[in-house]
Amino acid sequence: MLGIRDLSSADINGILDTAENFSEISNREVKKVPALRGKTVINLFFEASTRTRTSFELAAKRLSADAVNISVSSSSLSKGETLLDTAMNLDAMAPDCIVVRHSSAGVPHQLAKVSRAAIVNAGDGSNEHPTQALLDAMTIREHKGKIDGLNVAIIGDILHSRVARSNIHLLTKLGAKVKVAGPGTLVPKDFAYFAEARASPPAGGENYDAAVANALASPHAEPTLQVCENIEEAISDADVVMILRIQRERQDSAYFPTLREYAVHYGLTNERLDLAKKDAIVLHPGPMNRGIEIAFEVADSSRSLILDQVKYGVAVRMAVLYLATGGGLTSKE
């Protein structure tokens, strides 16, 4: 599981159906089934994480796998061992699955080349965060009953967001229409290029994001990915409003003047949310910065499904670990 980009819509629906079947296990008094008994899952996180790391560990344990967390600061990486040597040494201990998060795009793909274990991407730089997009999709499906035909607004730091990329892949594959908006400096120019170039698609070989290629290849008559001039245009008539954090850890220069100014122009307030459909839902992958990209009252409102996303994250990761270690797809019951 290296990215949503590699999956078909049938693959995605199969994972979501499997997650749905696993989700009731977390409601039981004894939250454990033997599905992965005898399997070993290693969590190898080179970046901070609360939700993803904990939910992968809980998912492994609820399926009766042995879960091992490697703390990078106390591993031999701090003594100069290379990442690939670390991976090959872990692989020599015969884990069934290695879940990896790294600040550089492509690290999970490199590990997959040297490891016999299944590699699961838990976020690689600004590239992809596939299980986040899957849990977002599960949240949308649970609350809207479908994804096909929905209008989804993705607001904020699109440029540095692996969550945005995985979601654009997933949502457009499943037939949603995605609108993105943020400061001009934080929306990839290739995305804007897509909006302009749709009428006369490039001959090929140009440098534009895979998500754009994906959207161009879409069988839908209407553009499935649209770059909006402002947040109001993106939110207008949305069924789902997804708010992203400003990812200062990935920013190498000043992309906007001040956080206060960002909050004024791009923060999700109740007034802006009123532009969306009456029953629109609000998602945020977390960690959220209250008062910056999302107002306190929106984060705490009944339209906010932020904690539901975290809940569904455990079920999605159970499904991904199960399927990555050889389990078969289960259909929706």
Say if residue 287 is preceded by a cis peptide, omega within 30 of 0: yes
Going by C-beta distance under 8 Å and a sequence separation of 6 or more, which residues neighbour residue 113?
none
Our finding on whether 304 is near ligand CP (CB under 6 A) is no
- Provide the minimum distance between the beta carbon of 53 and ligand CP in the complex, in angstroms, as a whole number: 6
Contacts 24+ apart (CB under 8 A), 111-115: 111/83, 111/84, 111/87, 112/2, 114/84, 114/87, 114/88, 115/87, 115/88, 115/90, 115/91
- Binding residue for ligand CP, selected from 287, 297, 300, 301, defined by CB under 6 A: 287
Torsion sign over Cα 11, 98, 213, 252: positive
| CA separation for the pair 261, 132 (Å, rounded) | 28
Per-residue interface string for the shown chain with ligand CP, residues 167-186, x marking contact by CB under 6 A: --------------------
| CA separation for the pair 177, 141 (Å, rounded) | 15
- Binding residue for ligand CP, selected from 13, 18, 21, 52, defined by CB under 6 A: 52
- Provide the minimum distance between the beta carbon of 293 and ligand CP in the complex, in angstroms, as a whole number: 14
CB 186 within 8 A of CB 148: no
Our finding on whether 188 is near ligand CP (CB under 6 A) is no
Our finding on whether 311 is near ligand CP (CB under 6 A) is no
- Binding residue for ligand CP, selected from 175, 202, 286, 327, defined by CB under 6 A: 286
Our finding on whether 224 is near ligand CP (CB under 6 A) is no
Q: Which two tokens stand for residue 134?
A: 């899957």
- Binding residue for ligand CP, selected from 49, 104, 218, 251, defined by CB under 6 A: 49
What are φ and ψ of residue 213, in 5° steps? -60, -40
Going by C-beta distance under 8 Å and a sequence separation of 6 or more, which residues neighbour residue 166?
3, 4, 5, 128, 129, 130, 132, 133
| CA separation for the pair 272, 37 (Å, rounded) | 48
Tell me the residue type at 211.
Answer: A
Q: Residue 124 or residue 239: which is nearer to ligand CP going by CB?
A: 124
Our finding on whether 50 is near ligand CP (CB under 6 A) is yes
Going by C-beta distance under 8 Å and a sequence separation of 6 or more, which residues neighbour residue 143?
281, 305, 308
**What number of chain residues touch ligand CP (CB under 6 A)?**
9
Q: Residue 228 or residue 314: which is nearer to ligand CP going by CB?
A: 314
Q: Residue 50 or residue 71: which is nearer to ligand CP going by CB?
A: 50
Q: Residue 54 or residue 330: which is nearer to ligand CP going by CB?
A: 54
Our finding on whether 285 is near ligand CP (CB under 6 A) is yes
Specify whether the backbone of 289 is left (phi greater than 0), alpha (psi in -120 to 50) or beta.
beta
Q: Residue 102 or residue 177: which is nearer to ligand CP going by CB?
A: 102
Q: Residue 52 or residue 121: which is nearer to ligand CP going by CB?
A: 52
| CA separation for the pair 99, 89 (Å, rounded) | 15
Q: Return the bridge partners of 155, or none.
A: 181, 243
Per-residue interface string for the shown chain with ligand CP, residues 105-144, x marking contact by CB under 6 A: ------------------x--------x------------
- Provide the minimum distance between the beta carbon of 285 and ligand CP in the complex, in angstroms, as a whole number: 4
- Provide the minimum distance between the beta carbon of 300 and ligand CP in the complex, in angstroms, as a whole number: 19
- Binding residue for ligand CP, selected from 26, 35, 51, 218, defined by CB under 6 A: 51
Q: Residue 51 or residue 143: which is nearer to ligand CP going by CB?
A: 51
Q: Which residues bind ligand CP (CB under 6 A)?
A: 49-52, 123, 132, 285-287
